Each structure stands twice: as C-alpha cells, then as structure tokens.
C-alpha cells in the first residue's frame, strides 16, 4: 500500500509519518512545501519525498501517482489575518489536491478535520457527522467547505472519502501544547474565565486511529476521534501546568486575550514572524466541542491506550 501524507514536515503530519514508516507493507510518499522532513526519513527505502505546492496543480501529479491513500494535513497556521488566506489555503488548495487525486484514481482520500465544523457541540449533544454546520471561526468554516467538496466529489467519482474530525491532540511535541508550556514557563499563560468544554485525544491514540483509517479496508465517511474524558479547557490547562511545575493560567477578561492576539498579529505582519495567537484562534477556542466517537471505536480503534488526559499525563 502506498500512502501519501501532505504536510509531512508539519506537526501532526510528521507524527503520523513517524508511526507509519514502520508499518509492514506500507510505502510512504511524504509531501512538503517549504519545510524539510526529518533526516531519518531520507534514509528509508520505503519513503519517497516530494517538494510540491498545493497552489500549483502541475506539482501534485507526481506525488499522487500510483497512490492508494492520501492523508491531508497541509495548511498554514500561526499567521496574521487567517480570515483572509484560509479560504484559499484551506479550500482552494484542497480542491487542487483532490481533483488531481481523482485524475490519478486514488482510492481513498482522508481529510484531517475537527468537530468545530458543526458549530458548538457538547457531550449531551455531540457532533454527529453533519455537513450543514455554521461555525463562527474562519478555521472551522473553511474546513467545513473542504468536507463538503470532498463528499460532493465522492458522489461523482466513487472513491472512499474520509473526514477524521479530531479533538485536541495532546502530548510532548504537539505544537499547541508546547506553545502553552512556553507561555506557562514564562509565567504569561492566561485563559478566559468562561468554562469551555473540550474533547481530547492522546498523540499515541491519534497515531493509531489515523493509521488504521489509512490502512484498514472499507473506511468511509466521517469519524470523530476523541477519548472518553469530559473536561474544560481551563481544567486541562490547570492540570497540565501543575504537572509542568508552573502556576496555573491566570483567568482574565476575554478582551485582554483578544488584545494580545491582535498584538501578535500586528507583529507578525510587521516583522514576518509567526503569530502564536490570532483572534480567529480565540474564536474557535471559545467553542465547546465534543464528537460522537462511536464509529471510531467500532471501526478504527476499539481500545484507547489513554481513556482520559489524566491517564496520559506522562506523555507531556
């Protein structure tokens, strides 16, 4: 089986590649744009590396040639004004990839998504796999557009279309978690006061579930990936900062956090640096989310290694 991972030099794409490179019988095509994959991948006989640009369809034919499954991670994060570029870098770029994949007769295309595309959801009213959500953030709206295009094309071309709606992935080496730890270590981690309910999954369970989505037969449709925990973002950060030996996040008014995010965005625009916070990140972060994981447990990963984040705290 040949599996293409886009965004393979990115955070979650790299995580999956590290897991799948040791899968028996799996050949990996790792697609990157500007960043380089780890040196170890370049030494493997079962890995091919491609420098491609999702804005240029002609660069997508070679990495998708003779591929059985695509797992799509590639995207842009931590830049100012995501509302302006996400309709292109999420929606249009994914359309380019999918159209070329269909031409090359790829059998299965997996989009990495998140429960927020359905709008607000809770453990009592979980996201069920609908495509008609009206989320408030640009990140979620454009990912919803990607999902709708994916399943519309499936109806026309009869390939296996999969959306993995992933809760927050936690563990050492996860970019957002490491960013929170940096803020905490410097005593500047804050969070809004209103409780926000979130769904989590350990990086280890994420790797196994996503790898199974790529390699198991008859995988199709929308799957929510998450553990059995039910906690707020505030509780999660309070617990993890204590584990890191830092003080818990300061509760502060939302307008202060928005002001900080705007400051980061302005700095990003002026100096060409990353923006660890954006206003749209805050908008999506304010949304309660919880997906129904029944299909995941029945078809992808029956037994979780870590049923709650408190069981998985040693992965930080």
- Cross-strand pairs, 162: 110, 221
pTM of the model: 0.95
Residue 56 has pLDDT above 80, yes or no: yes
Report pLDDT for 81. 77
Which residue pairs, CB below 8 angstroms and at least 24 apart, start in 295-302? 295/129, 295/221, 295/222, 295/223, 295/224, 296/209, 296/223, 296/224, 296/225, 296/226, 299/216, 299/219, 299/223, 300/209, 300/212, 300/213, 300/216, 300/219, 300/223, 300/225, 301/205, 301/208, 301/209, 301/212
- Name the 3-class secondary structure at 266: helix
Report pLDDT for 273. 81
- pLDDT, tens digit, for every residue of 2-50? 999 999 988 999 999 999 999 999 999 999 988 889 889 989 999 999 9
In the DSSP assignment, the letter for residue 49 is E
Structure tokens, 119: 């709008």
Average pLDDT, the chain: 94
Q: What integer is the mean pLDDT of 108-127?
A: 96
- pLDDT, tens digit, for every residue of 157-210? 999 999 999 999 999 999 889 989 999 999 999 999 999 999 999 999 999 999
Query: Checking DSSP bridges between strand 231-232 and strand 197-198, what pairing results, if any?
Result: antiparallel
- Name the 3-class secondary structure at 87: helix
Report pLDDT for 176. 87
Residue 77 has pLDDT above 80, yes or no: no
Lowest mean pLDDT among 56-70, 265-279, 281-295: 265-279
The percentage of the chain sitting over the pLDDT mark of 90, rounded to a whole number, equals: 82
Matching CATH number, 2-169+200-226+289-306, of 3.30.1380.10, 3.40.50.720, 3.30.70.60, 3.40.50.11750 = 3.40.50.720
Structure tokens, 290: 């919880």
Residue 86 has pLDDT above 90, yes or no: no
Residue 239 has pLDDT above 90, yes or no: yes
Tell the burial category of 38 from Cβ atoms under 10 Å away from its Cβ (0-12, 13-18, 19+). Answer: middle
Laid out side by side, the sheet with 27-32 consists of 47-51, 27-32, 2-6, 69-72, 108-113, 160-166, 221-225
């Amino acid at each position: 089986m040949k599996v293409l991972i886009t965004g393979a030099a990115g955070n979650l794409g790299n995580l999956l590649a590290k897991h799948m490179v040791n899968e028996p019988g799996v050949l990996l095509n790792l697609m990157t744009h500007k960043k380089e994959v780890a040196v170890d991948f370049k030494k493997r006989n079962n890995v091919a590396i491609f420098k491609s640009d999702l804005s240029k369809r002609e660069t997508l034919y070679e990495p998708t040639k003779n591929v059985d499954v695509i797992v799509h991670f590639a995207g842009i994060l931590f830049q100012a004004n995501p509302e302006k570029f996400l309709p292109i870098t999420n929606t249009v770029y994914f359309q380019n990839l999918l159209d070329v994949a269909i031409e090359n007769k790829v059998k299965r295309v997996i989009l990495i998504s998140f429960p927020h595309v359905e709008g607000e959801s809770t453990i009592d009213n979980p996201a069920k796999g609908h495509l008609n959500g009206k989320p408030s953030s640009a990140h979620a709206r454009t990912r919803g557009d990607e999902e709708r295009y994916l399943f519309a094309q499936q109806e026309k071309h009869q390939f296996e279309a999969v959306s993995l709606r992933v809760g927050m992935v936690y563990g050492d080496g996860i970019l957002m978690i490491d960013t929170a730890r940096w803020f905490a270590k410097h005593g500047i981690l804050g969070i809004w006061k209103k409780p926000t309910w979130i769904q989590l999954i350990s990086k280890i369970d994420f790797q196994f579930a996503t790898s199974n989505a790529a390699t198991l037969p008859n995988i199709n449709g929308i799957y929510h990936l998450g553990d059995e925990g039910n906690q707020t973002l505030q509780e999660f950060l309070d617990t993890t900062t204590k584990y890191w030996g830092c003080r818990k996040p300061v509760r502060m008014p939302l307008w202060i956090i928005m002001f900080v995010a705007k400051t980061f965005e302005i700095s990003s625009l002026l100096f060409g640096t990353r923006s660890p916070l954006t206003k749209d990140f805050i908008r999506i972060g304010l949304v309660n989310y919880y997906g129904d994981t029944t299909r995941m447990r029945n078809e992808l990963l029956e037994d979780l290694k870590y049923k709650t984040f408190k069981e998985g705290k040693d992965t930080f």
